[in-house]
A and B are shown apart, each in its own frame.
Chain A
Amino acid sequence: MAERRARRIWGFRAIYLLFGLAVILYRILPLQTGIPALPGPDFILAVTLAWVLRQPATVPLAAVLFLFLIGDVLLQRPPGLWTALAVLVMEFLRNRRAGIAEAPFLFEWGLVAGAILAMVLGQRVILWILVTDQPSLGLALMEGLATIVLYPFVVLVSKYLLGLDRLPVMEREPGKS
């Protein structure tokens, strides 16, 4: 039983890493080089936050660090900043997941939305303090909003396609990193 669960967890970790790499790869494909399109959602962030609220063991810190740092380097972001914010938000949600285990989904969504907006604004404030040139507020907010809109779909897919749901309170594994 325990062994099967461990294998399941490793499967989810593999899915997480492969999915993240595929997203980054897709974003750097030179399909639409010039047209300034609307910024799309941050898939990796949505998946990370959804899974950390469901089964934290599926998104270990090392994997999150790896994916976000690769993303920072390849997607021309300030290296480390978005990663640091993501790790902070992830820990925040991870420590509070017991509180929202029984709460309705809307509450969870609101919490995640707040966290994502805080990330976007935090990034802007830090870049402003560092006197770096930064993208317009509208574009940055739109990216955050797109991620928030995407979040329920990520939850739906992980729940019904991958069978990843919130652990019942009794079964939660003890402090596994």
Chain B
Amino acid sequence: MARERTDSSHARPVRRLLVAVVVLCLVVLVLVWRIDNPRVERLRSNITDRIVPNLEWAMAPVTALGRMVDDFQSYTRLYQQNEELRRELQQMRAWREAALQLEQENARLLDLNRVQLDPDLTHVTGLVLADSGSPFRRSVLINVGARDGIIDGWATMDGLGVVGRISGVGENTSRVILLIDAAHRIPVTVMPSSQQALLMGDNTALPVLEFVEAAEDISPGDRIVTSGDGGVFPPGLLVGHVVVDREGRLRARPSADMSRLNFLRVMRSHPGTSLADPGGLIGPPWPLPSDTTSAPDDPDDTAESTAGDEAADG
């Protein structure tokens, strides 16, 4: 009994000191994260990059199993689903016919006008490796990264609509923040009325449509596409459709199937040539310095050219 007391009496302060040091280090880590956020987040994405692809052997089978269970559950409604699909297919056939005709007409008209369209968006397809694992963050990790030329901020889509944007690129993986994450905002256009708005995720399935100028011109079902304002997203990508919630607020139902993300397309955006500098003065062609260096043996010529330069400056 006496031995125990002596043991604990000198072991305790050591442990207390150890715990204090550890907690201090952790607090410093939090502060560093707050102060130099980009660097710590890069560290985080590097660690994730190191760990998650190595765990694929364990995660892939479990994920596949989970998805199979989901699929199996949907077998119970197979008949009903089949009927629905038949009906939809019938409608789709009609739409496809219309779309083909419109496409041909569009091509003819564009040809007549000689319109130069944007260069086609190319994309890199990635596979979803992991999700955020937190109830407060909506993001997924995909298996393409800096190695494949992915750059922060690029738009990400599933087959149909925008899913989110790249935020955090590791060597082999990158993180996609989903539209529905509370930190996600994109400028959008609501289609028939061409109204600009901001789509703000709020951690629910339906992100909010904010800063709409004339909400009365928008009705449920209107299409929402990216507007390309701010130069982050390419314009014209389908985001979703307008819905109105119980409190009468405008929200968007994303076209992308957020609950079953599997393959994602990362759209390579080409930053267009920016017109940053104002156009220069248009005047008579001044002799350029490069012209004068070709004949340095004539002193009069150089004197003239410097005078010309001063005139040009003034």
Contact = CB atoms under 8 A, between A and B. Distances in A.
Interface stretch (A83-91, A110-118, A153-161): A83-91
B225 interface: no
B259 interface: yes
Contact of A75 (B63, B134, B182, B183): B134
Interface in B1-30: 3-4, 7-8, 10-12, 15-16, 18-19, 22-23, 25-30
A6 interface: no
B278 to A, nearest CB: 38
B170 to A, nearest CB: 12
Given A36-B180, A76-B133, A175-B11, A84 B27 contact: yes
A28 B44 contact: no
A34 B259 contact: yes
B149 to A, nearest CB: 23
Nearest to B40: A79
A27 interface: yes
What bracket does the count of chain B residues touching chain A fall in? 35 or more
A39 B134 CA distance: 8
A36 B204 contact: yes
B34 interface: yes
B8 A31 contact: no
A122 interface: no
A76 B139 CA distance: 9
Contact of A28 (B132, B178, B183): B132
A61 interface: yes
A167 interface: no
Interface in B159-217: 178, 180, 182-183, 203-205
A36 B138 contact: yes
B55 interface: yes
Nearest to A39: B135
Contacts of B135: 36-40, 135, 139, 143
A35 B258 CA distance: 7
Contacts of B33: 78-80
Contact of B132 (A35, A70, A75, A136): A75
A30 interface: yes
Given A28-B131, A77-B134, A175 B8 contact: yes
A29 B63 contact: yes
Contacts of A33: 128, 131, 138, 140, 178, 258-261
B260 A28 contact: no
A81 interface: yes
Contacts of B59: 25, 28-29
Among B55, B130, B133, B258, max chain A CB count under 10 A is at B133
Interface in A69-125: 70, 73-81, 83-84, 87-88, 91
Contacts of B4: 174
A84 B253 CA distance: 39
A37 B180 CA distance: 13
B51 interface: yes
A133 interface: yes
Given A76-B137, A132-B34, A174 B48 contact: no
> 9 closest A-B pairs (Cβ-Cβ)?
A34-B258, A175-B11, A39-B135, A80-B29, A135-B136, A27-B133, A175-B8, A84-B26, A174-B7
12 contacts: A28-B132, A30-B63, A33-B128, A34-B205, A35-B205, A37-B135, A73-B48, A76-B132, A81-B30, A84-B26, A88-B23, A91-B19
Given A84-B26, A139-B135, 13 more contacts: A26-B62, A27-B134, A29-B130, A30-B130, A30-B262, A33-B140, A34-B258, A34-B259, A37-B135, A79-B40, A84-B23, A84-B30, A174-B4
